[in-house]
Amino acid sequence: MKFIALARSVCAHHPSLREITGPLQVRCFQHDFVPRDPKTKPIKYKYPLYYDPYGPRAPPSEKIIELAERIAALPPEERSQIGSALGYKLKHPKLQPISTEGMDLGSQGGEAAAAKVEEKKEKTAFDVKLEKFDAAAKIKVIKEVRAFTNLGLKEAKDLVEKVPCVLKQGVTKDEANGIIEKIKAAGGVAVME
């Protein structure tokens, strides 16, 4: 439909074809374009043995070579101090450690070492777990559970009935021992984890 309308408008004005298509035709060749000879082979470039992003550099000066030789002659203890001394002298900012909190870094040797160190630390928070109780002493055990937890009668009864269960979490060692003694006196068996 659009084509027919275009043809009618062209015929109505009777302009020449060159006037219609003139601005639409553009040659994309450069003015000095020379077509490639089909018989020529592609150019082979010599690539360096290793990639140097800075390109070719001038060789170091005699002063730098002498300095490098003096550094190489130093004992290893003094060589290890060069980096920090240069950083101080040139006033470079100290590098801050990067936090990896919340990142999944996969299994690494550092984590295993950190876990071993944590295991060596003394545990400060304990959980008290009710293992079992005497059926005749069920009511006494429920009363003791209500005493050190702020549970109602129904909640304490439900908790005691689903043994083994954790009665209290994150308590100190002394507090955990006190709870275990009270449960033992009431007729139950509790352990500290």
pLDDT in tens, 116-172: 555 556 677 888 888 888 888 888 888 888 888 888 888 888 888 888 888 888 888
Residues 6+ apart with CB under 8 A from 82: 71, 74
Specify the amino acid at residue 174: D
Sheet holding 188-192, edge to edge: 165-171, 126-133, 188-192
> What SS3 class is residue 131?
strand
Distance CA 151, CA 157 (A): 9
pTM of the model as a whole: 0.37
Alpha helices in 14-61 (DSSP H): 17-21
The pLDDT value recorded for residue 67 is 93
Rounded to 10 degrees, what is the CA torsion of 107, 110, 114, 115?
A: 30
The pLDDT value recorded for residue 29 is 56
Residue 175 structure tokens: 């507090």
For residues 54-75, give the mean pLDDT.
Answer: 89
pLDDT above 70 covers what percent of the chain?
73
Q: What are the φ and ψ backbone dihedral angles of 105, each rounded to 5 degrees?
A: -100, 5
Per-position b or e across 6-32, b if 16+ CB within 10 A of its CB: eeeeeeeeeeeeeeeeeeeeeeeeeee
3-state helix, strand, coil in the chain (%, to 5): 50, 10, 40
Alpha helices in the chain (DSSP H): 2-13, 17-21, 62-73, 76-79, 82-89, 109-120, 138-148, 153-161, 173-186
What phi-psi label fits residue 24: left (phi over 0), alpha (psi between -120 and 50 degrees) or beta?
alpha
Distance CA 69, CA 54 (A): 24
Q: Quick one: pLDDT band at residue 66, thresholds 50, 70, 90? A: very high
The pLDDT value recorded for residue 70 is 93
Q: Quick one: pLDDT band at residue 13, thresholds 50, 70, 90? A: low
